[in-house]
Structure 1
């Protein structure tokens, strides 16, 4: 019996790999029960490798441990100016809270609160106070992806993820397009014509859209079936987008002013005129991990570094401190922005595996596990590893020459396992097939 167990462990320690696509030096694997004990299987588990977006698991674990699942971000409008006859006789300061997903609807709600206070005109400036972060951590070597939504950097005033919606109409009243919000500094030049009958499909295949930070041009023949279709555009800097969104939505509510948008800080003693409280951290992490939102993950990471001093340096210190408290070595850890959108970030499969084990034994395991994609059901795993179903929850990671998976599996006997797999290097396939097979090979040796 004992010899049989030994043989099984040796077999597990040398899991077969899809040899046609993976080189032995290009992957790492770590699999262990969360209730402790030696790993069941490991291969190059101490090698420092790019984790891609599985880095978000480390950031999520530290955030839950440090901030708690009910942590909420605060956004405020403040002023020290009096309100007379509906006019705010001075500046309105927008104190950015660094909320990971501050929506246009949240901004509208704050503006409505301002109107309920009796303000109809802002005589001074709109001052953007972004002092919540001393600076934003980098994501070097992604300049070619600057126009992509996944590469949008965090910002204390990031509104609607800096995305404007372009909506198309062909309803008998003329073929046209409209920008939402109607950013006052951006000219929309619509040169659309009637495309007649036929299916719409992806509206971007029917029309041409060109834009810079001051102009959006739309041309082409728009089928009637595209009436109401929309697409999104990444426009402006975060500060310009926030300021122009404020101006557009404030005018829609009948408001006048401000004179201009400037950077600054809130005066001491300024009173709060409107405020917004974000969704709790646990809800935010579901967006971060299920849909691998880089901008939101980077913002959560920066939140770990709030306070005096250098924000990214403080955030890194918070991560390393939590690892030390958990008894997890940080020797292999290289941090840049906490999201995995990085050419520099590294850690080992063992480090992340031990973090997952610690998280599974802690009070916030339900929140951490609930944030992960469910195999074959949702998020970035909706079309992957379907045979394993809801017992398998994994965070995915994808970069050029990098594939990663990490999370939890619960066997039929109720025992839970932590699982980490990284593939880095030239043998990475264009698809996810090789790493999915690697995961399947590991799980096939556990009770179903």
Structure 2
């Protein structure tokens, strides 16, 4: 009897009364619970905190439930102008609907299809129809990072996530740089020199090159070793409208097409005929993998806007997306507070959620039909994404979305025991010293998993 009582005491693990080791009491919020029910451990779990990129989990959950994992984005080209002898005698309207994974290869295939359908010359303008989204949300407080890729705003015609690549190669021993996709309005002034040495690995090519952007000119300098032949780094160029138009023009010309003559922004005229309509190459489930494993803010914002576009109500796409997320919380009998959304990506100084609310959403996901898709989108500890070099020594399967901002570090996701039991866990640090607390955060998660393993072992030993 004494042995059974001892085992029962171990199984009934107490909730946290204090913060985990290494944290002040008010620096961390934590919630952990078995998928089957109950709460294992919690600390400040109902407190409103900034979740950073773990907010993407709410956006993912809402999109999967409303749109379904097989949802695809649609891109369409229309025109009211006649097609005569291969010449489109007017404007070509590009109806963008925010495909987050639209890239040069996919656009090239669409343009190839236009060529096969008889269009050789676009005598009018390329007109971007952006009417699919009205109201994008915000990401205030990141003005100092405006040239960084992680701050790129969502756009209905977001080609290559508005990122171009500088690709390096050697021609007769001389290093060269070219822009991919080629943008007619951007020139590359390469003054690269060949570096001595025959190392077998380039590593990060940015160690060897300096890129300076001055308007529509890219200056590239440095000493490039031969091992960097084929290496690349990305650059954030132009605004989204110019990027889409210039990339379209370059790809169209590569296919032997002529035009278009200029760029405009307008809504497609009623009655314009469809010249080509294509679904996105990736499903929503595929997009979520890139979005969550690599914490892509632009994709996350696009997903929430897509949700709003599919359920229009107010005329503000972001507000309609948020409305769907909140209505799902009500439908699933989940906590609605505290929750403050600015863009649904966690790229925010203002967004707030509680560890409990985020955890309950994660638990609801695994109980629902799309839990496998959400779990598969999360980085696997020690294996890939933003967790490739973290928490690899934790036993079982640990999948966690990371979050990182000034004064914020966060982890949220799932641990599954080899025997199949699953634990939802959320740990969010809000502190001026958050950037120094990543090791302690990882240690707190590892220790929590170890305690839950001990509970499982004790339960098994007691025959419970």
Give the TM-score of the pair, scaled to structure 1.
0.95
- 1:148 CA displacement: 1.4
Residue 238 of structure 2 is matched in structure 1 by 236
Residue 460 of structure 2 is matched in structure 1 by none
Distance in 2 (alpha carbons) for counterparts of 1:282 and 1:203: 32
3-state SS of the aligned residue for 1:446?
A: helix
1:78-89 matches, cutoff 5 A: 78-89=78-89
3-state SS of the aligned residue for 2:287?
A: helix
Distance in 2 (alpha carbons) for counterparts of 1:220 and 1:438: 44
- 1:301 CA displacement: 0.9
Tell me the alpha carbon deviations over residues 422-443 of structure 1, each in whole angstroms, 9 at most, x when there is no partner.
1111242435211111111211
Residue 441 of structure 2 is matched in structure 1 by 435
Distance in 1 (alpha carbons) for counterparts of 2:292 and 2:129: 29
Residue 248 of structure 1 is matched in structure 2 by 250
Residue 24 of structure 1 is matched in structure 2 by 25
- State whether residues 289 and 377 of structure 2, in contact with CA within 8 Å, keep that contact through their aligned partners in structure 1: yes
Q: Does 1:50 align with 2:58?
A: no
Residue 302 of structure 1 is matched in structure 2 by 305
Distance in 1 (alpha carbons) for counterparts of 2:394 and 2:34: 17
- 1:288 CA displacement: 1.0
Q: Does 1:328 align with 2:334?
A: yes
Tell me the alpha carbon deviations over residues 113-170 of structure 1, each in whole angstroms, 9 at most, x when there is no partner.
1100111100000000011100211111011111111111110001001111112232
3-state SS of the aligned residue for 1:150?
A: helix
Residue 354 of structure 2 is matched in structure 1 by 348
- State whether residues 29 and 429 of structure 2, in contact with CA within 8 Å, keep that contact through their aligned partners in structure 1: yes
Residue 409 of structure 1 is matched in structure 2 by 415
3-state SS of the aligned residue for 1:138?
A: coil
- 1:388 CA displacement: 2.0
Distance in 2 (alpha carbons) for counterparts of 1:78 and 1:389: 54
Residue 372 of structure 1 is matched in structure 2 by 378
- 1:386 CA displacement: 1.0
Q: Rate the CA distance shift 1:173–1:433 in 2: closer, same or farther, 3 A.
A: closer
Residue 287 of structure 2 is matched in structure 1 by 284
Root-mean-square deviation over aligned CA pairs:
1.8
Q: Which moved more, 1:202-211 or 1:46-55?
A: 202-211
- 1:176 CA displacement: 2.5
- 1:410 CA displacement: 1.6
Q: Rate the CA distance shift 1:290–1:277 in 2: closer, same or farther, 3 A.
A: same
Distance in 1 (alpha carbons) for counterparts of 2:77 and 2:396: 43
- State whether residues 237 and 243 of structure 2, in contact with CA within 8 Å, keep that contact through their aligned partners in structure 1: yes
Match for residue 400 of structure 2 among 394, 400, 409: 394
Q: Rate the CA distance shift 1:389–1:341 in 2: closer, same or farther, 3 A.
A: farther
Distance in 2 (alpha carbons) for counterparts of 1:323 and 1:256: 51
Distance in 1 (alpha carbons) for counterparts of 2:443 and 2:210: 40
Residue 216 of structure 2 is matched in structure 1 by 214
- State whether residues 375 and 390 of structure 1, in contact with CA within 8 Å, keep that contact through their aligned partners in structure 2: no
Total equivalences in the alignment:
445
Distance in 1 (alpha carbons) for counterparts of 2:68 and 2:80: 33
Residue 383 of structure 1 is matched in structure 2 by 389
Q: Rate the CA distance shift 1:64–1:369 in 2: closer, same or farther, 3 A.
A: same
Distance in 1 (alpha carbons) for counterparts of 2:124 and 2:210: 40
- 1:333 CA displacement: 0.3
- 1:174 CA displacement: 4.3
3-state SS of the aligned residue for 1:352?
A: helix
3-state SS of the aligned residue for 2:78?
A: strand
- State whether residues 94 and 128 of structure 1, in contact with CA within 8 Å, keep that contact through their aligned partners in structure 2: yes
Residue 138 of structure 2 is matched in structure 1 by 138
Q: Rate the CA distance shift 1:304–1:350 in 2: closer, same or farther, 3 A.
A: same
Distance in 2 (alpha carbons) for counterparts of 1:312 and 1:89: 37
- 1:26 CA displacement: 0.9
Distance in 1 (alpha carbons) for counterparts of 2:429 and 2:19: 14
3-state SS of the aligned residue for 2:423?
A: strand
Q: Rate the CA distance shift 1:51–1:314 in 2: closer, same or farther, 3 A.
A: same
Residue 119 of structure 1 is matched in structure 2 by 119
Structure 1, unaligned runs of 5 or more: none
Q: Rate the CA distance shift 1:213–1:75 in 2: closer, same or farther, 3 A.
A: farther
- State whether residues 406 and 421 of structure 1, in contact with CA within 8 Å, keep that contact through their aligned partners in structure 2: yes
